[in-house]
Amino acid sequence: DVMTMGMHATAWTVTVALAAAVLASCLFNALVRLVWRPRAIARRLARQGVRGPCYRFFVGNLGDIRRLRAAGAGLVLDVSSHDFIPISQPQFRQWIPLYGRVFLYWFGSTPNICVADLGVAKQLLSDRTGLFPKNRMNPIVRLVGKGLVMTDGDVWHRHKKVLHPAFNVDKLKVMTSTMVDCVLSMASRWEAQLATQGKNDCQEIELTSQFEELTADVISRTAFGSSYREGRKIFLALNEIQFIAFSTLWTPTTFQDSGSCQQRRT
């Protein structure tokens, strides 16, 4: 009995020691990720002239972003203005004058560098060294897959080699007349719609859906030899899939809205 009790005590001691070691390891990793690493990155980039808003423990700059977006939520964009940045991305409007056109900011403990300098942006986009890989942690990758847009290196070159013949200058010239026909068809529908309302009546045209239909019509005619109206059900189904996919990634509760949207379209 004494030996059994001793063995149980030893097993318990070993279990507690292992649990303490695991807990200590987790705490150390959290300390490194949430405290030491952000400070080290900020100091190293500051020595290179890249500054930014201060990192806050665990949340980074998310609190500042929420506050600025809440302040800009009541803004109304003028009809003749395209300056939507104060509404959609107000943090950039505030931070660029303070920290320059290349600065560091934080999504939680994840560092991000905003590049608003045209020369630096061109250099990054034309880089072939592989030092600036594409962001594969973005949830959109699960939607678009590992195609030309989201791949790097040899995989990117292979995809580009396969797709390049379809987009050479000669083939695009052949498609030009088809694209012009699609645009003229859309303009004719607008003119007919305005003519039915009379010259003195103001008629509004919702451009978003019109240009979505134009894009689908161009793709249908150039790639498949049909038209948008012939494949309308297919494009509506693709729109529904896109809506559900984005709802799954960001707002799962909008499945109900998707259902009601489907009923309205049918």
- Please give the full DSSP string across the chain, using - where no structure is assigned: -HHHHHHHHHHHHHHHHHHHHHHHHHHHHHHIIIIIHHHHHHHHHHHTT---SPP-TTTBTHHHHHHHHHHHTT----TT----HHHH-HHHHHHHHHH-SEEEEEETTEEEEEE--HHHHHHHHT--SSSS---TTSTTHHHH-SSTTT--HHHHHHHHHHHGGGGSHHHHHHHHHHHHHHHHHHHHHHHHHHHHH-SSS-----HHHHHHHHHHHHHIIIIISS-TTTTHHHHHHHHHHHHHHHHHHT-GGGHHHHHHHHHHH-
pLDDT of residue 224: 76
Both 34 and 128 in one domain: the answer is yes
Both 8 and 126 in one domain: the answer is yes
Considering the domain boundaries, does residue 218 fall inside one?
yes
Considering the domain boundaries, does residue 249 fall inside one?
yes
Residue 102 tokens read as: 């290349």
Both 210 and 126 in one domain: the answer is no
Both 76 and 18 in one domain: the answer is yes
pTM of the model as a whole: 0.64
Residue 253 tokens read as: 């509760």
pLDDT at residue 91 greater than cutoff 90: yes
C-alpha–C-alpha distance, residues 147 and 68, integer Å: 35
Both 171 and 261 in one domain: the answer is yes
pLDDT of residue 104: 97
Considering the domain boundaries, does residue 32 fall inside one?
yes
N residues, the chain: 266
Domain total in the chain: 2
Both 6 and 87 in one domain: the answer is yes
Domain stops at, among 107, 132, 157: 132
Considering the domain boundaries, does residue 20 fall inside one?
yes
Q: Which domain holds residue 60?
A: 2-132
C-alpha–C-alpha distance, residues 40 and 34, integer Å: 11
Considering the domain boundaries, does residue 215 fall inside one?
yes
Both 233 and 111 in one domain: the answer is no
Exposed/middle/buried for 93, CB within 10 Å: 0-12, 13-18, 19+? middle
Sign of CA dihedral 152, 155, 157, 161: negative
Gyration radius (Cα) of the chain, Å: 28
pLDDT at residue 130 greater than cutoff 80: no
Instruction: Residue 143: name the closest of 234, 247, 231, 233 by CA.
Output: 247
Range scoring the smallest mean pLDDT among 50-54, 105-109, 158-162: 158-162
Q: Tell me which of 4 and 151 has the higher pLDDT.
A: 151
CB atoms within 10 A of CB 213: 17
Both 182 and 82 in one domain: the answer is no
pLDDT of residue 84: 85
Range scoring the smallest mean pLDDT among 21-25, 40-44, 190-194, 253-257: 253-257
User: Token match 């250099």: residue?
Assistant: 123
Confidence of residue 249 (pLDDT cuts 50, 70, 90): low
pLDDT at residue 167 greater than cutoff 60: yes
C-alpha–C-alpha distance, residues 92 and 72, integer Å: 12
Mean pLDDT of the chain: 82
Both 197 and 251 in one domain: the answer is yes
Mean pLDDT of 142-165: 79
Considering the domain boundaries, does residue 63 fall inside one?
yes
Both 14 and 119 in one domain: the answer is yes
pLDDT at residue 139 greater than cutoff 70: no
Q: Tell me which of 137 and 193 has the higher pLDDT.
A: 193
C-alpha–C-alpha distance, residues 167 and 164, integer Å: 5
Max avg pLDDT among 65-69, 136-140, 191-195: 65-69
Considering the domain boundaries, does residue 42 fall inside one?
yes
Both 18 and 124 in one domain: the answer is yes
Domain stops at, among 132, 152, 178: 132
Both 31 and 108 in one domain: the answer is yes
Considering the domain boundaries, does residue 91 fall inside one?
yes
pLDDT of residue 138: 64
